[in-house]
Amino acid sequence: MKRILITGANGQLGNELRLAAERYKQHEYYFTDVDELDICNKSEISHFVESNKIAVIVNCAAYTNVDRAEDQPELCYRINHEAVQNIADVACENQLKVIHISTDYVFDGKSSFPYTEEMPVAPVTVYGKSKLAGERALHERAGNAAIIIRTSWLYSSFGNNFVKTMLRLGAEKDRLNVIFDQVGTPTYAADLADAILQLTTSTHFVPGIYHYSNEGVCSWYDFTKAILNTSKIRCEVLPIETKDYPSRALRPHYSVLNKHKIKSTYRLNIPHWKDSLERCLEILTGC
């Protein structure tokens, strides 16, 4: 039986991992958030790992407010870089395996075809730069025992996210303006959670960087239309350009991830984003 530590357990992905873990009962899971374990404190991590004989750390903890990060770079780097460095050091000292969640924001979004793991990174936001710094710290210190999973457009029935925001706004308003010139793939956190636990329980642990999202491609406009139509919410959705919706941080125009590596290495079957959205909306709305 493996003892698996999951950080950031109160977030979208952490909560989905709690549910998914019920299907992988052959292992013992320790779900922690900042109140139980401060990953910015290396000694706390070391004590927890040694006391509980942890074999695998799944790091879901992150500073994810992309706009606020522009004004809080120190805090953002503390969580997304320095805390990951702490985890890497403890993993190296205790010979642990690590699975760390990263983001499509490590790219600049200027590609015109899906990003592979080997393509050059060029983050343009504080958030993206901090996540890349975390990736590099983990690779340098524990690269031989670490898997980094980059994902995109994460949503869930837990927490705050785009799907829940559109459901609320669609019910409140007669018309919504949504960006159509940013393209990517939504990722249902429940699907990512299941994939993570397949990796943690596999005897075939291959370290490296992997990309994971649901299958298919859409814009935020297309995604919103699907959310509202599936939920039977009558609200007009109008497409607008990025320049008509200014934000504090730049958003990538293209965030499609190539998933061939993780599918071929771990034989994963990844659902299409529309099918996964329907599953999530059934939980949220009963539709």
- Report the catalytic residues: 127
Sheet with 208-211, strands from edge to edge, namely 28-31, 3-7, 56-59, 97-103, 146-151, 208-211
In angstroms, the CA 145 to CA 205 distance is 8
Cβ neighbourhood burial of 266 (10 Å; 0-12, 13-18, 19+): middle
Q: Are 208 and 147 in contact (CB under 8 A)?
A: yes
* H or E stretch covering 154: strand 154-155
User: Which residue, among 110, 147, 72, 118, has the nearest Cα to 255 in the 3D structure?
Assistant: 110
- Residue 204 to residue 147: CA distance in whole angstroms: 12
What's the distance, CA 166 to chain centroid? 19
Six token digits for residue 90: 């403890």
Amino acid in position 197: L
SS3 for 81? helix
By the 8 A CB rule, do 175 and 248 touch? Answer: no
DSSP 94-126: HT-EEEEEEEGGGS-S--SSPBPTTSPP---SH
